[in-house]
Structure 1
Amino acid sequence: MARSSMQVLSKGEIEQVHQTSLKILSEVGVKVDSPSVRVLLEKGGARVDKKKGIIYLDESLVTGALKTAPKKVKICSRGGRDYSIPEQGVQLISPDGQPPAIFDVSKGQKRRSVLKDSIDLAILCDALPEVDYVWPPVVATDMPSSRSSFYEFLVTMAYCSKHIQHGAASAEEARFQVEVASAVLGSEEDLKKRPIFSDVCTPISPLRYDQGEAEALVVLSRAGVPLVHLTMGIAGSVSPVTVAGTLAIINAENLCGLTMCQIASPGAPSIYSSFSGVSDLKSGFFVCGTPEGVLMDTAAVEMAKHYGLPSCAGGPGTSARSLSAEAGYQSAMSTMAAILAGSDLLVGLGGLDRDAMVSPEKLVMDCELWRWLKRLRVGVTVDEATLGFDAIKRQGPGGVFLSDPHTLKHMRKCLMIPQVTSYHSPGEPNYAMDELIEHAKKKTKQILAEHKPPLLSKEVAIRVGAVAEKYGILLPDGKQIFPHA
């Protein structure tokens, strides 16, 4: 059985991108806003312009980092679903990550997301089998802004048993995450053996790390937490307008992040990543779900494979602001490309409005899309059983296979059974988008009413609660968030 695939770069073009990225790192450099991280990098072999705060990485330093970076990365969970990527036939997907708004399908408009939404979405993601790992889908805007991300990490750990992907805006937040996860597993050594969360480290394109991100990177690398170097090139805005030029920035930022990790802690797990797009040159706004953005992310996956690194790419991204045809075709295009390119991780379930908003109903519909597109990726199995000669012989010319034993034996394995999509017969009324949304809405409500996520033991909850209290992560009434069995 041949597997479908997609490739946009030749070997020669991959080498050109690589060489240009090395020139960027050695001649243009990367601005790192943290004095302590600049000192660390200088000791590790980087050249540093102390006045400008720019670090320069020579080819030998980058090459050395590529040698020490592990070629497989563990993606574990407190619920026991563990992976080691890249893994043949394994592609994992998560929801969109931490926009500050949620689409209220009943009113047809967006609203600010709150902590209750974070909890509901964690439960929804825990229940949906298609969701493999969870980037907290929304921001808890009703919590103190300087601490909202702490709350989101905590409630996702509490109400979801799957691997968590998060972000840390400071060394303090990184330490908080490490302490919470270590409390769940038992110790920091246990966390290194089974990292139940990973972190997204996002440079500010082009070529800059703010102080908090850089210092968090060091803390997390030393704790053995996998780091996803999520670059967000925007063609015509913060990167060259060409796909190739943006790819050079994407690649340089990924190589820089990986090198920083290896200097901080040789052997630290890193994942190559891009979630890039273009700028609407009329407004200057970022636009996702475009052909150019898809090409950028597809090419980035190819660069990751060239280096032998795990990869993460954008999934069902869209610029649409509602559950519309635009959301459907943009999400399908970007997800299909990432699947065919062979990205190990994808992110974006439920995202709307350039990833500035999440819809629980779209998350459910995107899971249907994910099932269908993965079926295309698997391809066709041709063997004696699937060819069905005996069934063809039984039915003969003009026969009907509906009740044939071959159909009954193979139908569940061979046919996708929709969960929110409706297959209408010709005589039924016209199929409307509203019907699909209603099905997704009904399924969402049913899950939230019925699903009980596996809670941690009282002993573990007490340990996690102590960490939360230490960092001041309590509800307004002073109560702790973390429930227990």
Structure 2
Amino acid sequence: MLQSKIADSDARAGRRRRRSRDDAPAVRASTAVSGGRYAPLDSSERDAIHAAALDILATVGMSDAPDLVAASVLEAGGRLAGDGRLTFPPEMVERAIEELPRSLMLPARDPGHDLVLSHSRVYVGTGGAAPMVVDLETDTYRPSTLRDLFDASRLVDRLENIHFFARPVVACDVEEPEALDINTAFASLAGTTKHVIVSAHDAAHVRAIARMCHLIAGSEAAFRERPFLSLNINHVVPPLRFSGDACAVLAEAVRLGIPAHVNTFGQMGASSPVTIAGCVAQTIAETLAGVVFAWTLDPAAKVTFGPRPMVTDLRTGGMAGGAGEQAVLTAAVVQIAQHYGLPNSTIAGATDSKIADAQSGYEKCLSVNIAAQTGANMITQACGMQAGLMGCSFESYVIDNEMLGAILRTMAPIEVNAATLSAEAIGEVVRGAGHFLGHADTLARMQSDFLYPQIADRRAPEEWQAAGAPDIRQPARARAREILETHFPAPIPPATEAAIRAEFDIRLPEDAMRPA
């Protein structure tokens, strides 16, 4: 009798599974999740790395400091060494760490997508500057275009477990740097109501992007109040050399009230030491140099601390973003950022696989999960990227969206109370039906307590074989096509879009922004 009841319940559950795969709306994992459970460094190791970073800044310093940076840092207490390198006394660095804001709001045009970067709260999103995209129809790599960028933003706008849109591809069909920066911002903002992150080649381009944002917000004051766009800024060329153009962009962002992600990319074994500890120490020092500069301009600057060290495959010289060492390296820099208490971001998900296969899955899940469990506030490149950040795949966005939902679900707190301990229900079941499949608590919680996949296949083997034995890429590709054919959010009102097109050289055709 019990076996018969269980079989009947299993059959009903199977029918429910099939209905949920085909008909149910996507379920969003909670965004109110926090990491901080994983810490690869003990307190003495963490303190030793911090001390080494301070020593690097104080005794080695940064070369090629632009006049703007040198003047501002020197006025705040920095020094010029005999060889012309700009050095940062430890007391000045620690004062900056102490005075910079501990929390940063990154608004979205839809307040439901606002990001609050504080403590160990975790958000995941896109990123990268890939020059190629995997064509959704031909399944081959080709140069990415402005249309691809717009399509990526529309796709991500619909994917519920991706919290923000950082520019993932370069519009290779727009060659002029100023036009590229302006069109990148426009295409990103035109496709999603989530927070947008772009970059700029020049301080003048920052002003143009800001002007566009003021038009969309309705005024400069409204944008300053809720800056729905921020800038990725790589202020350093490792090892320990300032980038003059990027520092000028950072200064302009601070002046205009645009949040800035102060990022450092070192290649372990190439542009930073081959040891994890040495790479982390140099990366922390380089990132501190950027946030200290921003602090000298404005102690309340809206900046994130963005250490992004990457692993080099020393056999080839290429990047090895899916390596286990990469996951540990990322966790270590996030742990230091958490120790400082600064809003922070990092990269995870830079698989070396060329397609959304098993290698892609295990490499992304390993690195993103470790970064999340360590408590990175923002994880960029967490989805959609392939081939060591050289390519972007729309079907991967769909697959990775489910992966991210599962990762976020593991971080949700476990509810422990009299009701969830279920002592009364256990007593009812063992004296009654003998299983929990039809119990009232099970039925009440089956939708609220579980995150059901739409792309991952949970069917029985015979059902899967009868359906043609598809792999995960097939439903993902179909889902991506469906979204791109139907989802045109149009978050920029027509009158505002017309004003932007009248003022700027917008290359994205109007008909590309509407349903066919």
**Same fold judged by TM-score > 0.5?**
yes
- The AA in structure 2 aligned to 1:362 is S
- 1:261 equivalent in structure 2: 294
Does residue 228 (structure 1) correspond to residue 254 (structure 2)? The answer is no
Aligned residues: 476
- 1:148 equivalent in structure 2: 180
How far off its partner does 1:71 sit? Answer: 0.7
2:490–2:513 Cα contact (<8 Å) kept: no
Query: Which stretch shows the higher mean deviation, 96-105 or 246-255?
Result: 96-105
Task: Measure the CA separation in 2 of the matches of 1:354 and 1:297.
Answer: 16
1:179–1:467 Cα contact (<8 Å) kept: no
Task: Measure the CA separation in 2 of the matches of 1:8 and 1:440.
Answer: 35
For the residue of structure 2 that corresponds to 1:164, the secondary structure is strand
- The AA in structure 2 aligned to 1:368 is E
- The AA in structure 2 aligned to 1:447 is I
1:353-372: CA deviations, max 9, x gaps? 11111111111111100111
Select which of 449, 452, 455 maps to 1:414. Answer: 449
For the residue of structure 2 that corresponds to 1:422, the secondary structure is coil
Task: Measure the CA separation in 1 of the matches of 2:397 and 2:203.
Answer: 31
Task: Measure the CA separation in 1 of the matches of 2:485 and 2:494.
Answer: 24
- The AA in structure 2 aligned to 1:436 is I
How far off its partner does 1:209 sit? Answer: 2.4
Select which of 439, 462, 474 maps to 1:404. Answer: 439
Listed as ranges, the matches of 1:3-402 within 5 Å are 5-32=37-64, 34-48=66-80, 52=84, 54-80=85-111, 81-86=113-118, 90-146=121-177, 147-202=179-234, 203-348=236-381, 349-396=383-430, 399-402=434-437
For the residue of structure 1 that corresponds to 2:380, the secondary structure is strand
Task: Measure the CA separation in 2 of the matches of 1:117 and 1:22.
Answer: 43
1:277–1:292 Cα contact (<8 Å) kept: no
Query: Which stretch shows the higher mean deviation, 133-142 or 28-37?
Result: 28-37
1:269-312: CA deviations, max 9, x gaps? 22112232211111111210212111121111111111110121
1:115–1:152 Cα contact (<8 Å) kept: yes
- 1:436 equivalent in structure 2: 472
- TM-aligned CA distance change 1:482 to 1:404, over 3 Å: closer
2:34–2:122 Cα contact (<8 Å) kept: no
- The AA in structure 2 aligned to 1:420 is I
- 1:475 equivalent in structure 2: 507
For the residue of structure 2 that corresponds to 1:414, the secondary structure is coil
How far off its partner does 1:235 sit? Answer: 1.0
1:215-234: CA deviations, max 9, x gaps? 00100012222221222221
Alpha-carbon RMSD: 2.6
Query: Which stretch shows the higher mean deviation, 107-116 or 238-247?
Result: 107-116
- The AA in structure 1 aligned to 2:497 is A
For the residue of structure 2 that corresponds to 1:343, the secondary structure is coil
2:34–2:375 Cα contact (<8 Å) kept: no
- TM-aligned CA distance change 1:384 to 1:394, over 3 Å: same
1:316–1:366 Cα contact (<8 Å) kept: no
Task: Measure the CA separation in 1 of the matches of 2:81 and 2:70.
Answer: 9
Is there any run of 5+ residues in structure 1 with no aligned partner, and where? none
1:140–1:149 Cα contact (<8 Å) kept: no
1:410-449: CA deviations, max 9, x gaps? 1012222111101021434569995210111111111111
- TM-aligned CA distance change 1:235 to 1:179, over 3 Å: same
TM superposition score normalised by structure 1: 0.91
Identity of aligned residues (%): 25
How far off its partner does 1:166 sit? Answer: 1.5
- TM-aligned CA distance change 1:327 to 1:481, over 3 Å: closer
Task: Measure the CA separation in 1 of the matches of 2:463 and 2:166.
Answer: 40
1:274–1:300 Cα contact (<8 Å) kept: yes
How far off its partner does 1:28 sit? Answer: 1.2
Task: Measure the CA separation in 1 of the matches of 2:42 and 2:359.
Answer: 31
How far off its partner does 1:481 sit? Answer: 9.4
For the residue of structure 1 that corresponds to 2:39, the secondary structure is coil
Bigger Rg, structure 1 or 2: 2
1:277–1:294 Cα contact (<8 Å) kept: no
- The AA in structure 2 aligned to 1:229 is V
- TM-aligned CA distance change 1:345 to 1:4, over 3 Å: closer
- The AA in structure 2 aligned to 1:176 is A
Task: Measure the CA separation in 2 of the matches of 1:76 and 1:458.
Answer: 22
Is there any run of 5+ residues in structure 2 with no aligned partner, and where? 1-32
How far off its partner does 1:193 sit? Answer: 2.0
TM superposition score normalised by structure 2: 0.86
1:41-84: CA deviations, max 9, x gaps? 333433236975x3211112212222331111111012223232
- The AA in structure 1 aligned to 2:150 is I
- The AA in structure 1 aligned to 2:363 is Q
